[in-house]
Chains A and B, each alone.
Chain A
């Protein structure tokens, strides 16, 4: 760079401009954006601007250093004077007028320019300066036209430079400024509060000697309110410079930023102004606020305590009363601390206030802190924000709550729905009788027809038998189809619906077999369906099995004692009977019984018990339970079945029936798969023997599945058995709990039903009217 000689005025002017552009107060490098704004305001053609930039070396360097900046300014002056742009011209052209950065309109500018140029020496002739500004301001006010927007913007952008300097040079201008403000009450009007800042700035600009020209021009503006605030805000001039730099005006930034054509900028400006949101925080402003926030609180998600915020905002030299008001507006949650959003809002309000805008009564929507916990926090915040502030502060929090309740409401609804669906829950209870029905029906059917009709029943009862598990019920409820059952069993959530359906089904079933309602007394362990009893059985089975080292003794819940036998004669039939119990027992089947397990898993065993039939069939069927049967289904199932007979648990029955069905081959798919599934699930729990049983207790399986499942664990150690027993016990407790909950739900539902019926009765007479 060639040496640049500047006159005093130029020096001063340039330094002002540099400070203006020096957003980051580095004093060395100027932000390109600002510089661009500045140059645009110079009203030079773009190519000239580019040329200037190139000449001064900024393009080379990529940024504007001080020297580059000065050279650029000089070149601007050169260009404006009509001289060709040359590097040499920097120093050769003498008596170059100061580069003019035009912003505004008309007379004010000319006046400014004139005054500045003439008053370059004039340090602070306030008096002389004063008159023009007001005029300017007024003129500005009147001329809120978009045409001058852009120039104004640039003017505004540039203006800050002068104001920036002003604090240093003429602190008295502050009161001056304020006075001017009062004259030009902007009151936060929605339109561009141009007028206010205008006069504000003008005094500053004029007060200065050097940066006169620019100021004159800039007075035009539609000052982004924040600009001025920056000036007086900081303690140190550099900071104030920074502040002023903070163009903060939505419009300015929108327009300035766009390197687009002037028209575009103007349009943007128009748009922004037309959007009528003077409180909007621009990105640059926001970034500035965030930086300031960081200086106080490095964690952006943290809070600024009230005391720190007080100190910070006190620096703005606003009256305490106003600061207090600002605090009230911005502390959204009334916690005495400022989050990032609140801080930005407060800062923005301070800036606005310093620029002469009156504080609003309520927090503007755009300043509303985003509520974190709500998706639509913005929407929620906006609405309640106003309300909250207008009303008692206590209502402010409620502004957040509206969204919360909405969320909360969904839960009750869900619960309601679940309740409704859960109404059906009483499955367990009903299941028992229905189970019994089922069992009996199955029993009857086992001998006769294990076709589809029964299969579902079998399935259900077996499931029911399983127990207390909702899952089981769910499974049943979910559908006669095995698939449903499985799915339901897999997830408790689906229980309600499934249970409901299950219940319905059960009801239907029960309806179909009214006479059998009389629950075949539990005594007949053999009864396949005993959710609870089955579990007990399983325990017994476990205990029994634990004691027994025999293969496959372990798990048969329905027939613990027989287990050993079944183990000896593993039969797939065992599977079935063990709904819940079966699962458990199955899982606990000793590994030794693995080979025999298939037999045990054979629910047909149980069926043999109950029905005392089909054993053979079951055995066969059990064998047919390929999926479940871990091992081959040997005769064990059959034998186990027989053994199980003694227990005659419902599960067994179901198991038997299931296998029976399977054997029938009618709906083999449905029932068998179910038990099979269960078996699989509970496998971990039960010994291999039990696996078969587990199949039946699909529901249980679900529960058990949740437990660490040892697929067909092979470990036939005592420990394994004991572990499985433990697990099964846990499962039992879980199931028991579920059962109790379901019962409670049932009671609730019944009560509701009663009340509804009462209401219905009451309303009935009106229906005739």
Chain B
């Protein structure tokens, strides 16, 4: 369902970013980049007291004419950003959540790999991400 999925590190550089090739990928990169501001805004808005209760799923970050951008942040400030086609109206919030959950699981699996240095680009996502993207299309 997603047309673009990105994993952003804590320092706001991308660890993994992948789009459906048919589109102009650069546009998606740009969208993801701009969405980071929204993510930060949402995180900071919670306040310190709410850190514990802060939900990982941020929801719709901002909609554009063609796309909607959803965000998800982990407790270690690793952000997952997903761009979804707006025409895909059947996509429910729960589905987005589940997709983020899967992403998060995959991310933790990658972290568990001792050969992975945190901060490196992630190579292992492809399989799962492909499945997600194919669903979308």
How far, in angstroms, from A313 to B115 measured CA to CA in the complex?
A: 10
Which one of A325, A331, A392 contacts B106 once the chains associate, using CB atoms below 8 Å? A392
Task: Name 9 extra pairs, CB < 8 A, besides A310-B114, A328-B109.
Answer: A306-B114, A320-B115, A324-B113, A331-B113, A336-B112, A392-B102, A393-B105, A393-B128, A394-B102
Contact with B along A598-612 (1 / 0, CB 8 A): 000000000000000
Question: Knowing A321-B123, A324-B123 touch, does A392 contact B112 (C-beta < 8 A)?
Answer: no
Nearest Cβ on chain A to B134's Cβ, whole angstroms: 12
Q: How many residues of A contact B (CB 8 A)?
A: 23
B109 and A394 form a contact (CB under 8 A):
yes
Contact with B along A296-322 (1 / 0, CB 8 A): 000000000111011001000000110
How far, in angstroms, from A394 to B102 measured CA to CA in the complex?
A: 7
Q: B64: CB under 8 A from chain A?
A: no
B114 and A307 form a contact (CB under 8 A):
yes
Q: Which residues of the other chain, B, contact A313 by a CB distance below 8 angstroms?
A: 115
How far, in angstroms, from A313 to B124 measured CA to CA in the complex?
A: 19
Q: Which residues of the other chain, B, contact A321 by a CB distance below 8 angstroms?
A: 123
Q: B127: CB under 8 A from chain A?
A: yes
Interface positions, chain B 99-121, Cβ under 8 Å from A, are 102, 105-106, 108-116
Q: B131: CB under 8 A from chain A?
A: yes
Nearest Cβ on chain A to B119's Cβ, whole angstroms: 14
Q: A515: CB under 8 A from chain B?
A: no
Q: Which residues of the other chain, B, contact A306 by a CB distance below 8 angstroms?
A: 112-114
Nearest Cβ on chain A to B96's Cβ, whole angstroms: 16
Q: A84: CB under 8 A from chain B?
A: no
Nearest Cβ on chain B to A384's Cβ, whole angstroms: 15
How far, in angstroms, from A327 to B127 measured CA to CA in the complex?
A: 16
Beta-carbon nearest neighbor of A308 in chain B = B114
How far, in angstroms, from A753 to B109 measured CA to CA in the complex?
A: 47
A334 and B109 form a contact (CB under 8 A):
yes
Q: How many residues of B contact A (CB 8 A)?
A: 17
Listed in ascending order, the chain A residues whose CB lies under 8 Å from chain B are 305-307, 309-310, 313, 320-321, 323-325, 327-328, 331, 334-336, 390-394, 396
A391 and B128 form a contact (CB under 8 A):
yes
Q: Which residues of the other chain, B, contact A336 by a CB distance below 8 angstroms?
A: 111-114
How far, in angstroms, from A323 to B114 measured CA to CA in the complex?
A: 9
Nearest Cβ on chain A to B127's Cβ, whole angstroms: 6
B113 and A392 form a contact (CB under 8 A):
no
How far, in angstroms, from A391 to B109 measured CA to CA in the complex?
A: 13
How far, in angstroms, from A327 to B111 measured CA to CA in the complex?
A: 11
Most buried by B among A305, A309, A328: A328
How far, in angstroms, from A320 to B120 measured CA to CA in the complex?
A: 12
How far, in angstroms, from A396 to B116 measured CA to CA in the complex?
A: 19
Q: Which residues of the other chain, B, contact A393 by a CB distance below 8 angstroms?
A: 105-106, 109-110, 124, 128
Question: Knowing A327-B114, A327-B115, A331-B113 touch, does A394 contact B105 (C-beta < 8 A)?
Answer: yes
How far, in angstroms, from A473 to B56 measured CA to CA in the complex?
A: 54
Q: Which residues of the other chain, B, contact A392 by a CB distance below 8 angstroms?
A: 102, 105-106, 127-128, 131
Beta-carbon nearest neighbor of A362 in chain B = B127
How far, in angstroms, from A287 to B111 measured CA to CA in the complex?
A: 30
Nearest Cβ on chain B to A346's Cβ, whole angstroms: 11
Question: Knowing A392-B128, A393-B128 touch, does A327 contact B113 (C-beta < 8 A)?
Answer: yes
Question: Knowing A306-B113, A306-B114, A394-B105 touch, does A324 contact B127 (C-beta < 8 A)?
Answer: no
- 8 CB contacts below 8 A, A to B, read A306-B112, A309-B114, A324-B115, A324-B124, A327-B114, A331-B112, A331-B113, A394-B106
Beta-carbon nearest neighbor of A327 in chain B = B113
Q: Which residues of the other chain, B, contact A335 by a CB distance below 8 angstroms?
A: 112
How far, in angstroms, from A396 to B109 measured CA to CA in the complex?
A: 10
How far, in angstroms, from A327 to B113 measured CA to CA in the complex?
A: 6
Question: Knowing A324-B123, A324-B124 touch, does A391 contact B115 (C-beta < 8 A)?
Answer: no
Beta-carbon nearest neighbor of A338 in chain B = B114
Nearest Cβ on chain B to A396's Cβ, whole angstroms: 8
Q: Which residues of the other chain, B, contact A310 by a CB distance below 8 angstroms?
A: 114-115
Contact with A along B77-112 (1 / 0, CB 8 A): 000000000000000000000000010011011111
A334 and B115 form a contact (CB under 8 A):
no
How far, in angstroms, from A517 to B81 measured CA to CA in the complex?
A: 70
Beta-carbon nearest neighbor of A311 in chain B = B114
B114 and A334 form a contact (CB under 8 A):
no
How far, in angstroms, from A325 to B128 measured CA to CA in the complex?
A: 15
B114 and A391 form a contact (CB under 8 A):
no
B124 and A334 form a contact (CB under 8 A):
no
How far, in angstroms, from A328 to B115 measured CA to CA in the complex?
A: 10
How far, in angstroms, from A390 to B111 measured CA to CA in the complex?
A: 18
How far, in angstroms, from A334 to B108 measured CA to CA in the complex?
A: 9
Most buried by A among B108, B113, B116: B113
Nearest Cβ on chain B to A641's Cβ, whole angstroms: 71
How far, in angstroms, from A321 to B128 measured CA to CA in the complex?
A: 18
Interface positions, chain B 14-51, Cβ under 8 Å from A, are none
Q: Which residues of the other chain, A, contact B127 by a CB distance below 8 angstroms?
A: 390-392
Q: Which residues of the other chain, A, contact B109 by a CB distance below 8 angstroms?
A: 328, 334, 393-394, 396
Which one of B112, B128, B131 contacts A334 once the chains associate, using CB atoms below 8 Å? B112
The 4 closest A-B pairs by CB, nearest first: A306-B114, A336-B112, A393-B109, A392-B128
Q: Which residues of the other chain, A, contact B124 by a CB distance below 8 angstroms?
A: 324-325, 328, 393
How far, in angstroms, from A518 to B13 measured CA to CA in the complex?
A: 81
Most buried by A among B112, B115, B128: B115
Q: Which residues of the other chain, A, contact B128 by a CB distance below 8 angstroms?
A: 391-394
Beta-carbon nearest neighbor of B115 in chain A = A324
Most buried by A among B114, B124, B127: B114
How far, in angstroms, from A324 to B115 measured CA to CA in the complex?
A: 5
Which one of B105, B112, B115, B131 contacts A323 once the chains associate, using CB atoms below 8 Å? B115
Which one of A328, A390, A394, A396 contacts B113 once the chains associate, using CB atoms below 8 Å? A328
Nearest Cβ on chain A to B95's Cβ, whole angstroms: 15
Q: Which residues of the other chain, B, contact A305 by a CB distance below 8 angstroms?
A: 114
How far, in angstroms, from A129 to B31 measured CA to CA in the complex?
A: 57
Beta-carbon nearest neighbor of A394 in chain B = B105
Q: Which residues of the other chain, A, contact B115 by a CB distance below 8 angstroms?
A: 310, 313, 320, 323-324, 327
Nearest Cβ on chain B to A400's Cβ, whole angstroms: 15
Beta-carbon nearest neighbor of A318 in chain B = B115
Nearest Cβ on chain A to B103's Cβ, whole angstroms: 9
Q: Which residues of the other chain, B, contact A391 by a CB distance below 8 angstroms?
A: 127-128, 131
Q: Which residues of the other chain, A, contact B116 by a CB distance below 8 angstroms?
A: 324
Nearest Cβ on chain B to A399's Cβ, whole angstroms: 13
Contact with A along B47-69 (1 / 0, CB 8 A): 00000000000000000000000
How far, in angstroms, from A306 to B113 measured CA to CA in the complex?
A: 7
How far, in angstroms, from A412 to B64 measured CA to CA in the complex?
A: 49
Beta-carbon nearest neighbor of B132 in chain A = A392
Most buried by A among B108, B109, B111: B109
Beta-carbon nearest neighbor of A335 in chain B = B112
Q: Which residues of the other chain, A, contact B105 by a CB distance below 8 angstroms?
A: 392-394
How far, in angstroms, from A336 to B123 measured CA to CA in the complex?
A: 17
